[in-house]
Amino acid sequence: MSIRWYSVVVDCRDVAAQSRWWASALDWRVVYESADEVVLVPPHAVDPARDIPPLERGPGLIFVPVPEGKTVKNRLHIDLAPSPDTGQDVEVRRLEALGARRVDVGQEPADVSWVVMADPEDNEFCVLSARD
């Protein structure tokens, strides 16, 4: 295949704060930073000991500024999967300590195995049950 998923772009008001928050949440690395763009990648992407072919590299996150705030539920969101060693409850509490909060987007808590949360700029994401 001659095309690959390169990145997910996140519109935000405060590029520096949002990118720092997600870098902390995911333990990812900043590989590019300017006033109007910050790029994050997983740690393995910048590990010189690992030679990962470009087509096998996962997407990064790019944060860019927009003047408007978020007004409606996201049409696309990120799912985070805690490890079995850590578990969902521990990760939800850690993300809350970083500034995320639980949100209701219409899910029925008794019927779902994930927790819907929002980052500091109200972008929804889900914390799934533990997965390998």
| Residue range 21-78, pLDDT digits in tens | 999 999 999 999 999 999 999 988 888 788 877 777 778 999 999 999 888 888 899 9
Same domain, residue pair 60 and 86: no
* CA quadruple 79, 26, 33, 50: dihedral sign: negative
Convert the pLDDT of each residue in 70-118 to its tens digit: 888 888 999 999 999 999 999 999 999 999 999 998 888 778 899 999 9
Total structural domains within the chain: 2
Same domain, residue pair 61 and 11: yes
Residue 56 phi/psi, 5° resolution?
-105, 0
Same domain, residue pair 60 and 16: yes
On whether residue 72 sits in a domain, the answer given is no
pLDDT at residue 1 tops 60:
no
Mean pLDDT comparison of 3-7, 10-14, 42-46, highest-scoring range:
10-14
On whether residue 73 sits in a domain, the answer given is no
Q: Measured in whole angstroms, how far is the alpha carbon of residue 6 from the centre of its chain?
A: 15
- The sheet with strand 78-80 has its strands ordered as 78-80, 124-127, 115-118, 101-102
Structural domain harbouring 109: 78-127
